[in-house]
Amino acid sequence: MGIFDRFRKKKQQYPEREDMTGQEDQDSGSEPIPRYPKSVMLKYGKIEPRSWEKIGRVYIEYKTSAFVGPVAMWYKDLMTKEGWKIESWTPPYVLREGPKGNEHFITIVYMKDGRSCSIGVKWYPTLTKYWIDLELG
């Protein structure tokens, strides 16, 4: 069973999710990787290269009412269609079990043309946060 098959097969009861309708971005900046539909930008940062680095990075954080699985699958489909290869990943795991539900987390690292792009997805009981950390070319 592959890493993404787990998301397709898992069925659980979850608390009501936060409604993103009408919520506006809390930060702004160019988005070199498309965002998951109906998500809200929370943070944007462009990091200039330090003296020993050749390239800078962009870091963007979002929130959505979708669950971890659909977000991870959406990015897997998008990134592989755009020619990115999966370099590594952390298996989906439970960070914490709480009275309102479990917190799940996954990070997937993609590579293309010598650049890396990490996409992390963390599920909270009422919303999902995800981030993109991309090397700029």
Query: How many CA atoms are closer than 13 Å to the CA of 30, on its beta-carbon side?
Result: 6
Tell me the percentage of the chain whose pLDDT exceeds 70: 77
Q: Which conformational region is residue 9 in: left (phi greater than 0), alpha (psi within -120 to 50 degrees), or beta?
A: alpha
The answer to whether residue 30 scores a pLDDT higher than 80 is: yes
Q: What is the CATH number of the domain that holds 48?
A: 3.40.1000
Q: Which domain covers residue 18, as residue numbers?
A: 5-135
126, two tokens: 């009422």
In angstroms, the CA 85 to CA 112 distance is 7
- What is the mean predicted confidence (pLDDT) over 53-79? 90
In angstroms, the CA 117 to CA 134 distance is 4
**In this structure, what DSSP letter does residue 33 have?**
S
Which pLDDT belongs to residue 113? 92
Domain count, the chain: 1
